[in-house]
């Protein structure tokens, strides 16, 4: 089968930047499909503005320049520039080079993922050529220009008027999608409740863990409960909530291990939230090294996070998780068995942390159950996508 995948980023030797989990998943899907004998072309944005082609692990990657003021995932611009960018992203059409790629490759399936800067108009290009379209929901790009449904320090309960105006065309274009896939049921429901994908077949195909992260035994270190956080130090990730909750624990019962790029000013601000408590800032660190230093991984997100790869990687490393109740995260593990959920508040996380401190056998038991479980693999995920492709091609 000939398949064209669209994603804003796709890491290659020429342009290796990774911003989030979607590009990692798309690379896993593409390389697995090639290994199974399919022909795959990936279309992504060119960060340097040049039109070029690269082959990476058997996958042909087409870089197309963005038709907008600047590339996403880069330095911040002023508010007016970002507003103009979002207007162009929704109201204009896809780059002309994309039509040429589709005509040259003649795919049997178009499968889109994150479309920031690529434009949902690619679905119209596919429809004009009689190519079935699959779209995977990794975020909220189709209903929120910021992709997060997060504003004023909290998750949005509904779509505001400004977001509705800035996404009007991509919403309309959702009628061109033949099958929509979400990484969680919660994320799919939020889109369907907005009236999107009314004619599309609907599926939930969860993400999978990075297969390169091994199960790591937790040693008997005899110290405080080591709670880890790895990722972006963005407001919606709830890092303040976690630090304040840990600060409520009795002295020397909890330590925080924080991994990710963070400025010295931000480190000082977070430390001020927990006076007298040591915060271990690791900076950018290999995931395996991070998981070896923690007992539990916290994901205190205060937005409707669709399907955090960190959660799956943590479980693969044998680390129980503590997550908020928002988004798709509660669907991704067995609550009370391989992890725990808490209300997305300081009180909620403090109460659960206190329970884990007072009952350390909970962590040990969850760690052992993670060793015994059968985790889904990349092969499982790609098999599910292949079934979706086949259902459309054989219609």
Q: Between residues 95 and 187, which one has the greater pLDDT?
A: 187
Q: How many domains does the chain have?
A: 2
* Same-domain check for residues 167 and 230: no
The pLDDT score that the predictor gives to residue 128 is: 97
- Please say if the pLDDT value at position 353 is more than 90: yes
Out of 37-41, 187-191, 218-222, least confident range: 218-222
The pLDDT score that the predictor gives to residue 276 is: 84
* Same-domain check for residues 72 and 101: yes
* Same-domain check for residues 295 and 381: no
Look up the CATH number of the domain holding residue 299. 3.40.50.2000
Average pLDDT, the chain: 95
The pLDDT score that the predictor gives to residue 278 is: 84
Beta strands in the chain (DSSP E): 2-6, 39-45, 52-56, 59-64, 109-112, 133-137, 150-151, 154-155, 179-182, 201-204, 225-230, 254-259, 279-283, 296-299, 321-324, 339-342
Q: What is the mean pLDDT of residues 37-63?
A: 96
The pLDDT score that the predictor gives to residue 251 is: 85
pLDDT band of 213, cuts 50, 70, 90 = very high
* Same-domain check for residues 287 and 199: no
The pLDDT score that the predictor gives to residue 244 is: 97
Q: Is 235 a member of any domain?
A: yes
* Same-domain check for residues 112 and 177: yes
* Same-domain check for residues 146 and 10: yes
How does pLDDT run across 172-202, given as a tens digit for each residue? 999 999 999 999 999 999 999 999 999 999 9
Q: Are strands 339-342 and 321-324 parallel, antiparallel or unpaired?
A: parallel
The pLDDT score that the predictor gives to residue 231 is: 93
| pTM, entire model | 0.94
Q: Is 146 a member of any domain?
A: yes
Closest to 4 in 3D by CA, of 144, 170, 123: 123
* Same-domain check for residues 43 and 151: yes
296 vs 293: CA distance, rounded Å? 10
Contact, 301 vs 344, CB < 8 A? yes
How does pLDDT run across 259-294, given as a tens digit for each residue? 999 999 999 999 999 998 889 999 999 999 999 999
Q: Which pair of tokens denotes residue 190?
A: 């939020």
Q: Is 201 a member of any domain?
A: yes
Q: What is the mean pLDDT of residues 139-155?
A: 95
Structural domain harbouring 310: 225-372
How does pLDDT run across 283-331, given as a tens digit for each residue? 999 999 999 999 999 999 999 999 999 999 999 999 999 999 999 999 9
* Same-domain check for residues 232 and 175: no
């Amino acid at each position: 089968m000939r398949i064209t995948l669209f994603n804003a980023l796709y890491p290659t030797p020429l342009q290796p930047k990774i911003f989030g989990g979607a590009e990692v998943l798309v690379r896993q899907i593409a390389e697995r499909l090639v290994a199974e004998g399919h022909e795959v072309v990936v279309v992504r944005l060119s960060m340097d503005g040049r039109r070029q082609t690269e082959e990476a692990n058997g996958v042909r990657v087409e870089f197309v320049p963005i038709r907008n003021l600047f590339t996403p995932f880069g330095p911040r611009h002023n508010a007016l520039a970002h507003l103009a960018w979002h207007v162009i992203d929704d109201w204009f059409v896809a780059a002309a080079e994309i039509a040429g790629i589709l005509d040259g490759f003649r795919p049997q399936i178009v499968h889109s993922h994150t479309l920031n800067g690529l434009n949902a108009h690619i679905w119209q290009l596919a429809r004009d050529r009689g190519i079935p379209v699959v779209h995977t929901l990794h975020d909220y790009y189709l209903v929120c220009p910021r992709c997060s449904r997060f504003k004023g320090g909290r998750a949005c309960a509904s779509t505001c008027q400004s977001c509705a105006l800035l996404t009007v065309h991509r919403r309309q274009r959702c009628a061109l999608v033949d099958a929509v896939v979400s990484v969680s049921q919660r994320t799919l429901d939020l889109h369907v409740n907005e009236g999107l994908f009314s004619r599309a077949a609907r599926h939930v195909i969860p993400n999978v863990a990075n297969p390169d992260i091994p199960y790591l035994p937790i040693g008997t270190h005899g110290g405080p409960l080591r709670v880890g956080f790895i990722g972006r130090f963005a407001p919606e990730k709830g890092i303040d909530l976690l630090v304040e909750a840990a600060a409520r624990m009795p002295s020397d019962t909890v330590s925080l291990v924080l991994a990710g790029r963070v400025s010295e000013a931000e480190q000082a601000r977070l430390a001020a939230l927990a006076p007298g408590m040591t915060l271990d800032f690791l900076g950018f660190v290999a995931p395996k090294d991070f998981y070896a230093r923690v007992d539990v991984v916290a994901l205190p997100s205060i937005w409707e996070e669709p399907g955090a790869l960190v959660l799956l990687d943590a479980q693969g490393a044998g680390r129980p998780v503590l997550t908020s109740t928002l988004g798709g995260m509660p669907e991704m593990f067995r609550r009370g068995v391989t992890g725990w959920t808490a209300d997305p508040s300081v009180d909620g996380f403090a109460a659960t942390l206190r329970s884990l401190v007072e009952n350390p056998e909970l962590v040990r038991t969850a760690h052992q159950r993670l060793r015994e479980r059968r985790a889904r693999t990349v092969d499982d995920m790609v098999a599910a996508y292949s079934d979706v492709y086949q259902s459309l091609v054989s219609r």
